[in-house]
Amino acid sequence: MTHVVHPPQEAIGTLPRQNAGSTGGAGGADRRAPDHGAPGRLHRVPRPRTHWTTAYLRRVVAADAVAILAATSLAYVFRFGAVSTSAWEGALLLLGVPALWFGALYVNRAYESRFMGLGSEEYGRVGRASTAVLALLATASWAFQLEIARGYVLLALPVGTVLLLVLRYLTRQHLHAQRERGLHTQSLLVAGHHEGVLATVRQVRRARYHGMVVIGVCLPDAHGGRRGGEASVLTQLAEMDVPVLGTLADVSEVSLRHGVDAVAILPTAETDAAFLRHLGWELEDTHADLFVAPTVTEVVGPRVAIRPVCGLPLLHLERPELTGSRRIAKQTVDRVAAAVAIALLSPGLLAIALAVKLDSRGPVLFRQERIGLEGRTFGMLKFRSMVVDAEARLRELAGSSEGNAVLFKMKHDPRVTRVGRFLRRYSLDELPQLFNVLVGQMSLVGPRPPLAREVAVYEHDARRKLLVKPGLTGLWQINGRSDLDWEESLRLDLRYVENWSFAYDFMILWKTVGAVLRSRGAY
């Protein structure tokens, strides 16, 4: 998935490439002051001899070896059984193919640290490497008239690819679990204007599994912030124990003094091409990575491409796909998937309905008017999780809201029933919305369906959410649910509207499973 901190775009042609790698925390290496005899250059800082990425890479290589050797051995036994083969054929199938597979993984850069541990790129490179092995074997068999058993190839490669992906996923999950406990982290210095810096710090803290820990920030004026908005940002940073370590002009010196692993630069008037060029020079001999957030942070994925314009590498932003054949395809997939899900989950739906009916008086389903595509209203269905007079009692609880400026939320809402509390914890009360998806009122993935009173206070930007159907799940579901403030919830919904794709939907659906099981922000 995409985040506030992004790697530098190729469009910044003057920015030198940073060394790939990082340490496990700040202050671990001996830092030296800049060499004033060579302006803009720093004394070379040696890399640490040991690093958590080295151990992680070893685990990945070991997992790949298990997957490849298991798949090739299984295919060999299954294809030949007790039938003896020639020595050269046995060596080719049991040693040559695994060696070729490892070579393909290496050539496809499946072992580079920047591609491992996060995102889908790692899995894509594994898939391309396996496809390359198949193509090479087919080409060699045809060109040299080798009699490579097709049954062996057709079993070894699919099984091996699946094992590679599964073991890499499990290795990654182990890493993420360790990072949630504060292990294997990287120190991050964030530089930019007040509001952007605060948003980045919050995002980094939410995504702890990325392993980034903000050790401080650099602002345009480290001792300023006398205006209301800037003072509020400084107060919030102080409450999160994130110190202001200097100004934008101090970024390189601060990063060296604190031995940071990464520096994130947010777009400002001061952080122009010349600033980035000199900062890149000053950091290129250190182990610190340099990240640059483009001004189009919320527009990611296939909509952004680098195009040459008059000899300049410029970012081309394509229009979001809100209409057309892909939207029709999305609606078709939604309805078919909802029908299949309803059929498979019908015993569970009946069991939940019975539990709701026996727990408290009132109907099993709760129907609430929500605002959908292009502002049209529809009745959203949920299993009833509150007492029957919950809406009437809302006014007396308004002062106890723990939600954001627009949404009412309360962690220990007295209106929630015993069964309802369990249903809400694991989002089981949302399952009847599959029927809303089936009739075309909702989508499986989309923005959160708003209430009419929420839409009434929407500003212009927020109304863009209504350009797509609301979803049963979405970015808000996998990023904290009720723990999100209004600005963050809106930002996530707009990000989805701007960057919708089938791959994006699949990623959100996959992550929804983990979010529901963790039940973070569910109340």
Tell me which of 225 and 241 has the higher pLDDT. Answer: 241
- Per residue in 139-155, pLDDT tens? 877 766 666 677 778 88
Q: Do 362 and 501 belong to one domain?
A: yes
Q: Do 346 and 469 belong to one domain?
A: yes
- Cα–Cα distance measured from residue 308 to residue 318, given in angstroms and rounded to the nearest whole number: 15
Chain centroid to CA 38: 41
Give me the phi and psi of 264, to 5 degrees please: -110, 120
Q: Which of the given ranges, 249-263, 330-344, 386-400, has the highest pLDDT on average? A: 330-344
Beta strands in 346-494 (DSSP E): 365-371, 377-383, 443-445, 471-473
Stretch 312-340: mean pLDDT, rounded?
Answer: 83
- Cα–Cα distance measured from residue 225 to residue 215, given in angstroms and rounded to the nearest whole number: 20
- Per residue in 391-410, pLDDT tens? 777 676 665 655 555 566 66
- Per residue in 157-189, pLDDT tens? 999 999 999 999 999 999 988 888 888 888 999
- Short-list 117, 115, 136, CA closest to 125: 115
The secondary structure element, H or E, covering residue 106 is helix 97-107
The secondary structure element, H or E, covering residue 502 is helix 502-518
Q: In this model, does residue 220 exceed pLDDT 50? A: yes
Give every CB contact of residue 240 below 8 A, 6+ residues apart in sequence.
Answer: 201, 205
Tell me which of 348 and 400 has the higher pLDDT. Answer: 348
pLDDT of residue 511: 86
Give me the phi and psi of 202, to 5 degrees please: -65, -40
Going by their DSSP bridges, the two strands 365-371 and 377-383 should be labelled as: antiparallel
Q: Do 217 and 265 belong to one domain?
A: yes
306, 315 contact by CB (below 8 A): yes
pTM for the model stands at 0.66
- Cα–Cα distance measured from residue 145 to residue 142, given in angstroms and rounded to the nearest whole number: 5
CA distances from 466 to 16, 275, 322, 371, 375 (A): 42, 40, 11, 8, 6
Count CB neighbours of 383 within 10 A.
23
Could you tell me the CATH number of the domain that includes residue 280?
Answer: 3.40.50.1980
pLDDT of residue 144: 63
Q: Which of the given ranges, 34-38, 117-121, 270-274, 431-435, has the highest pLDDT on average? A: 431-435
430, 481 contact by CB (below 8 A): no
Q: Which two tokens stand for residue 81?
A: 């059984």
413, 397 contact by CB (below 8 A): yes
Strand partners, 471: 443
- Cα–Cα distance measured from residue 269 to residue 125, given in angstroms and rounded to the nearest whole number: 37
Q: In this model, does residue 43 exceed pLDDT 70? A: no
Q: Do 158 and 219 belong to one domain?
A: no
- Cα–Cα distance measured from residue 26 to residue 279, given in angstroms and rounded to the nearest whole number: 19
Radius of gyration (Cα) for the chain, nearest Å? 27
pLDDT of residue 495: 85
Count CB neighbours of 92 within 10 A.
18
- Cα–Cα distance measured from residue 171 to residue 291, given in angstroms and rounded to the nearest whole number: 25
Asked if residue 1 is part of any domain, the answer here is no
Considering 180, 209, 237, which residue would you say is the last residue of a domain?
180
pLDDT-derived band at 61, boundaries 50, 70, 90 = very high
pLDDT of residue 145: 66
Going by their DSSP bridges, the two strands 289-292 and 212-219 should be labelled as: unpaired
For the chain, counts of helices (H) and of strands (E): 17, 11
Considering 139, 155, 180, which residue would you say is the last residue of a domain?
180
Within a 13 Å sphere around the CA of 342, how many CA atoms are in the beta-carbon half?
15
Asked if residue 219 is part of any domain, the answer here is yes
Asked if residue 31 is part of any domain, the answer here is no
Q: Do 263 and 136 belong to one domain?
A: no
- Cα–Cα distance measured from residue 406 to residue 403, given in angstroms and rounded to the nearest whole number: 8
Domain hosting 75: range is: 52-180
Name the residue type at position 324: G
CA distances from 223 to 141, 234, 246 (A): 70, 10, 9
Tell me which of 512 and 389 has the higher pLDDT. Answer: 512
Q: Do 338 and 281 belong to one domain?
A: no
pLDDT of residue 510: 87
Give me the phi and psi of 390, to 5 degrees please: -60, -40
Asked if residue 199 is part of any domain, the answer here is yes
DSSP string, 108-148: TTTT-GGGSSSSSHHHHHHHHHHHHHHHHHHHHHHHTT---
- Cα–Cα distance measured from residue 437 to residue 335, given in angstroms and rounded to the nearest whole number: 6
Give every CB contact of residue 67 below 8 A, 6+ residues apart in sequence.
Answer: 160, 163, 164, 166, 167
Considering 317, 334, 364, which residue would you say is the last residue of a domain?
317
What angle is formed at CA 491 by the lines to CA 268 and CA 10, rounded to 5 degrees? 45
Percent of the chain clearing pLDDT 70 (strictly above): 78
pLDDT of residue 83: 56
Q: Which two tokens stand for residue 323?
A: 């209409």
State whether the Cα torsion 269-270-271-274 is positive or negative: positive
Asked if residue 302 is part of any domain, the answer here is yes
Q: Do 123 and 268 belong to one domain?
A: no
Stretch 108-136: mean pLDDT, rounded?
Answer: 88
Q: Do 125 and 272 belong to one domain?
A: no
pLDDT of residue 14: 35
Q: In this model, does residue 29 exceed pLDDT 50? A: no
Asked if residue 21 is part of any domain, the answer here is no
Stretch 490-496: mean pLDDT, rounded?
Answer: 85
Stretch 378-394: mean pLDDT, rounded?
Answer: 85
Q: Which of the given ranges, 81-90, 412-421, 466-475, has the highest pLDDT on average? A: 466-475
Instruction: Report helix, strand or coil for 505.
Output: helix
pLDDT-derived band at 388, boundaries 50, 70, 90 = confident
- Per residue in 473-489, pLDDT tens? 998 888 766 666 777 78
Tell me which of 324 and 223 has the higher pLDDT. Answer: 324
Looking at the structure of the chain, the number of domains it has is 3
- Cα–Cα distance measured from residue 391 to residue 385, given in angstroms and rounded to the nearest whole number: 12
Count CB neighbours of 333 within 10 A.
14
DSSP conformational letter for 270: S
Q: Do 495 and 365 belong to one domain?
A: yes
Stretch 454-459: mean pLDDT, rounded?
Answer: 86
pLDDT-derived band at 223, boundaries 50, 70, 90 = low
pLDDT of residue 497: 87
Q: In this model, does residue 471 exceed pLDDT 70? A: yes
Q: Do 265 and 145 belong to one domain?
A: no
Q: Do 91 and 212 belong to one domain?
A: no
Q: Do 356 and 304 belong to one domain?
A: no
Give me the phi and psi of 212, to 5 degrees please: -95, 135
Q: Average the pLDDT over each of 136-140, 143-147, 260-264 and give the range with the smallest value.
A: 143-147
Inter-helix orientation angle 52-80/97-107, to 10°: 140
DSSP string, 290-330: EEE--TTTT--GGGEEEEEETTEEEEEEPPP--SSHHHHHH
- Per residue in 352-377, pLDDT tens? 999 999 988 889 999 999 999 989 99
Mean pLDDT over the full length of the chain: 80
DSSP string, 198-210: HHHHHHHHH-GGG
